[in-house]
Amino acid sequence: MAKPIKKAVFPVGGLGTRFLPATKAMPKEMLPVVDKPLIQYAVEEAQAAGIEEFIFVTGRGKSAIEDHFDHSFELETLLKERGKIDELEAQKAWIPPAGHTAYTRQQEPLGLGHAVWCARHFIEDEPFAVLLADDLVLSDTPCLAQMVEVHQRTKGNVVAVMDVPREHTSRYGVIDPGAVDGDCVEIRGLVEKPAPEEAPSTLSIIGRYILMPEVFEHLSKGERGASNEIQLTDSMAQMIGHQPFHAHRFEGVRFDCGDKIGFLQANIAFALEREELREGVVSFLKALDL
């Protein structure tokens, strides 16, 4: 039996420059899709996959995230006084219990690998999940739960992948695929942001990972990679051949909400999923008559 995955790391230290001016004074991860911040979608996805400990790697200007996962005494009192008991319960349901969230700061945004490394003291000798909140996945089974199932079978590292147009490979970590077993693809190699002509495939990693703790040994070296950043992909690549490493072609649609068009698409797609909003959105889109 593989060790259960109980901890997830949420790197939220990025500056979100693609989303200025919205992200000047507000964390990118607090941008709402319909009525819920991106980071709450990520935490709920982790909860649905059995995660019990939530570790946020933050940076300056990210305190709204801490407040969001805390009880708001004023709000709860007000809802109680007004008899809005259902709303009160709904507001409390997704907040992790006391002592189950931890926050550490990435003092400089040196890259995703560095952000994950900042969480090393919260992880013991156990596999753990990493979720990037700006990647939002709409699926029947939450993406991380799909990956946990793969991890239980393969007992190693698992990343979520999707095919991207070849001209976009330079935006992603791309896998060199080996044996294929249904939606599960063995990984023979990984390259961060390859030029289209050099990419080993078009299967690209999105912001969902299950990693073995050995990744910290490689991250500790602090080696810089593409864009002069400490890349998570480079440390993951060093584990290939030493322990199982698989890519999971997830079921669902992924939206890159760190990008304006992806964010707008996510809002429409998630609104269409909501019974009380669907009709209004459909009639608005139809009336546009594009």
Tell me the residue length of the chain. Answer: 290
Strand bridging mode 7-11 / 128-131: parallel
CA distance 50 to 5: 7
CA distance 50 to 224: 33
For the bound state, the minimum distance from the C-beta of residue 20 to ligand UTP, rounded and expressed in Å, comes to 8
Residue sitting closest to ligand UTP (CB): 14
Closer by beta carbon to ligand UTP, 37 or else 79: 37
| DSSP H or E stretch at residue 247 | strand 245-249
Do residues 119 and 55 touch, judged by C-beta distance below 8 A? yes
For the bound state, the minimum distance from the C-beta of residue 29 to ligand UTP, rounded and expressed in Å, comes to 7
For the bound state, the minimum distance from the C-beta of residue 180 to ligand UTP, rounded and expressed in Å, comes to 28
Q: Which residues of 92-126 are buried (b: 16+ CB within 10 A; e: fewer)?
A: eeebbeeeebebbebeeebbbbbbbbbbeebbeee
Closer by beta carbon to ligand UTP, 71 or else 260: 260
For the bound state, the minimum distance from the C-beta of residue 123 to ligand UTP, rounded and expressed in Å, comes to 16
Q: Where are the alpha helices (DSSP H) in 9-72?
A: 38-48, 63-68
Closer by beta carbon to ligand UTP, 228 or else 283: 228
For the bound state, the minimum distance from the C-beta of residue 65 to ligand UTP, rounded and expressed in Å, comes to 11
The residues binding ligand UTP (CB under 6 A) are 11-19, 28, 57, 106, 109-112, 114-115, 132-134, 258
Closer by beta carbon to ligand UTP, 123 or else 271: 123
